[in-house]
Amino acid sequence: MESHEFAGELALTGELRPIRGALAMTLKAHHDGRAFVLPEASAHEAALVRGAIVHPAKNLLAVCAHVAGRESLSRCETTPPHCYEAEVADLSDVRGQAFAKRALEIAAAGEHSVLMVGPPGTGKSMLAQRLSHLCAPMEEDEALETAAVHSLMGAFRVCDWGRRPYRAPHHTASAVALVGGGSDPRPGEISLAHHGVLFLDELPEWDRRVLEVLREPLESGRIHISRAARQAIFPARFQLVAAMNPCPCGYLGHPTGRCRCTPDQIARYRARISGPLLDRIDLQLEVPSLPAEALPARRGVVHEETSAVVRDRCIVAARRQRERQQKPNGRLQPREVERHCVPDAKGEALLKSAFARLSLSARAYHRILKVARTIADLASADTIAAAHIAEAIGYRRLERP
Ligand SMILES: [Zn+2]
C-alpha cells in the first residue's frame, strides 16, 4: 500500500462518489512519488497534474482487485485543453479611455495593483475584466496551483485550465467569503483569484475591517487562517483592481454638472479607504466620463488596439523582469527596489522634487520606482529615465484626496 494513496466518498452500494480537492491532493501524492486511486468523476481533473499516476475506480471491488493484484485499474490521462482564447472580452471593445488602457498595460506587464476612480458608466469594470487577458499566459505550475484551489471548493472545470481567474465579489461579501475561513477552513475569493484578478468595485462601500485583511496577502501572496481548532494557509497571489466613484453621488466632475456633494461629504467618502491600503496600490488613476464627441461615432472609425497586441508588449516586458530579478516588478521588496530600480540623474532629481511637492510616503516612493521600472521595461530601456519617472508619478495623483 505504500506506493498508493486513496480518496473517495464510499456509498453504501460500494460505488465511489466524487470528492472535493482531488487535484490538490494529487499534487501532493505525485510530489511524494505515490500513485493515486480516485473515484472516476474526480480522476479527470486530478490527471491534469503532469506525470501523476491516477487510477480511476468505479467501486470498492475494483479497488480491492487492483490492490490484490488480480486486475489492475486503468491509468487516467488528461491533456490540458486549449480553450484559453475562446469567448474572451477584448480591450478594443472599450472605446476611448487611452490613459486607463495604458495603466492596465503597465499593470499587466509588471503585476501592479490598480485603483480606478470615476463616475458610473465609464467602463471601469469592463477594463478590470480585460486585465487578465493582457497578462502573459500562465506557467504550468501556476495553472496547477489555481486549479488546486478551485478544486478544493469543488468549483474547478477542466475547460478553465490555464485561464487566469477573474473574481468580482460584491461589497456586501463577508470577511469569510472574501478571505476564507469557517470551522473547516475553506479558501475565499482572494484565493480563488490566485494568479488572476480580484476586482473590488465601490471600494468605499466595503467594510473597512474586511479590507484591512487584504494587507497580508497583498504583501506575501498568501493568507493565514486561524480558527480555534485549525490553521490553514491558502495561496492568494491575486492582482488587485479596485474601483470607486469620485464622490458619494458618483458624478463629481461629470460634464452635466449634476453633482451637489459638499467638499466635506467628498472628503468623508474618500477617507473610508484606509491610508495603509491605499499605500499598497501601485497605480491610481481617474477614469473620467468622456463627452460624446470624444468617442468615435462607431466602431472601426478610430483604431483601438486589441488585447493580443497589448499582451505581446506585456510578455516582452515580463520576460525582461524575469531575466533581471526572477519576479515581476510589482512584487519587488524595498531592498530589491533599491537594487533594480535605480533612475538616472535627471530621473532622480525629478522624483526628489515630486516627493517633496506631493508629500508622498516612503512606501509611495518605492511604488513610483517600481512602476517606472515597468514603464522602462515596456520601452525596452535598461535605465529608468526622467520620462519614465514622470509617467509613474502621474499614477499617484490621488494620493491625498
Ligand atoms: Zn457627487
- How many Å apart are CA 241 and CA 261, to the nearest integer? 26
CA of residue 251 to ligand 1 center, whole Å: 5
CATH number of 94-294: 3.40.50.300
What separation, in Å, do the N-terminal and C-terminal C-alpha atoms of the chain show? 64
Give 355's pLDDT tier (boundaries 50, 70, 90): confident
pLDDT digits (tens, 9 = 90+) for 112-132: 999 999 998 888 999 999 999
- pLDDT tens across 184-220, in order? 888 999 999 999 999 999 999 998 888 888 988 988 9
What does the pLDDT read at residue 297? 53
15-19, 156-160, 367-371: range with lowest mean pLDDT: 156-160
* pLDDT value for 326: 94
Centre of ligand 1 from the C-alpha of residue 287, in Å: 15
119 CA to middle of ligand 1, Å? Answer: 9
Residue-level pLDDT at 99: 92
Mean pLDDT, residues 128-145: 90
CA distance 72 to 396: 63
pLDDT at residue 342 greater than cutoff 60: yes
**Higher-scoring residue by pLDDT: 107, 270:** 107
Question: Who's near 248: CB < 8 A, 6+ residues apart?
Answer: 261, 265, 266, 269
Beta-strand relationship, 283-286 and 114-117 = parallel
Q: How far is the CA of 255 from the centre of ligand 1 (A)?
A: 12
Please name which of 162, 198, 148, 154 lies closest in space to residue 20, comparing C-alpha atoms: 154
* Ligand 1 center from residue 262 Cα (angstroms): 8
How far, in Å, is the centroid of ligand 1 from the Cα of 198? Answer: 26
CA distance 179 to 198: 11
Gap from CA of 275 to ligand 1 centroid (Å): 22
pLDDT-based confidence at residue 401 (cuts at 50, 70, 90): very low
CA dist., res. 392 & res. 86, Å (int): 34
In this prediction, residue 45 carries a pLDDT of 84
268 Cα: distance to centroid of ligand 1 (angstroms):
12
Average pLDDT, rounded, for the chain:
88
247 alpha carbon to ligand 1 midpoint, in Å? 5
CA of 257 to the centre of ligand 1 (A): 9
Q: Does pLDDT of 34 surpass 50?
A: yes
Q: If you measure from the C-alpha of residue 260 to the centroid of ligand 1, how many angstroms do you get, rounded to a whole number?
A: 5
The rounded Å distance from CA 204 to ligand 1 centre is: 14
Specify the pLDDT at position 317.
Answer: 97
Q: What is the pTM of this model?
A: 0.86
Tens-digit pLDDT profile for residues 146-174 = 998 998 888 787 778 888 999 999 999 98
Specify the higher pLDDT residue, 298 or 4: 4
**In the chain, where are the structural domains located?**
4-67, 94-294, 332-396
pLDDT at res. 168: 95
Q: Is 359 left (phi over 0), alpha (psi -120 to 50) or beta?
A: left
Distances (CA, A) of 300 to 95, 99, 126, 200, 294: 10, 19, 19, 31, 14
**Residue-wise pLDDT tens digits, 216-275:** 898 899 999 887 778 889 999 999 999 999 999 998 878 778 899 999 999 899 888 877
The predicted pLDDT at position 400 comes to: 47
Q: Which amino acid is at 287?
A: V
The least confident of 7-16, 41-50, 373-382 is: 41-50
Using the 8-state DSSP alphabet, how is residue 20 labeled? T
Residue 29's pLDDT is 86
- C-alpha 28/C-alpha 109 separation (Å) is 31
393, three cell numbers: 508619478
Q: Which of 162, 91, 178 is nearest to 129 (CA)?
A: 91
Q: In the numeric block, which cell numbers belong to residue 159?
A: 475547460
Q: Cβ-count burial of 55 within 10 angstroms (0-12 exposed, 13-18 middle, 19+ buried)?
A: buried
Confidence of residue 82 (pLDDT cuts 50, 70, 90): low
pLDDT for the residue 254: 80
pLDDT-derived band at 349, boundaries 50, 70, 90: very high
Mean pLDDT computed over 128-141: 90
Q: Using a pLDDT cut of 70, give the percent of the chain over it.
A: 94
Output the pLDDT for position 262: 93
Distance 89 CA to ligand 1 centre (A): 31
Quote the ligand 1 centre to 259 CA distance (angstroms). 4
Q: How many A from CA of 269 to the centre of ligand 1?
A: 10
With 0-12 / 13-18 / 19 or more C-beta atoms within 10 angstroms meaning exposed / middle / buried, residue 208 is exposed
Three-state DSSP class for 307? helix
Q: Ligand 1 centre and the CA of 105: distance in Å?
A: 29
What residues does 222 pair with on adjacent strands?
A: 235
Tens digit of each residue's pLDDT (9 = 90 or more) over 264-320 = 999 899 888 877 888 889 999 999 887 665 555 555 556 789 999 999 999 999 999
Tell me how far the alpha carbon of residue 84 lies from the centroid of ligand 1, in angstroms: 41
How far does residue 124's CA lie from ligand 1's centre (Å)?
A: 18
Q: Which of 330, 294, 288 is nearest to 116 (CA)?
A: 288
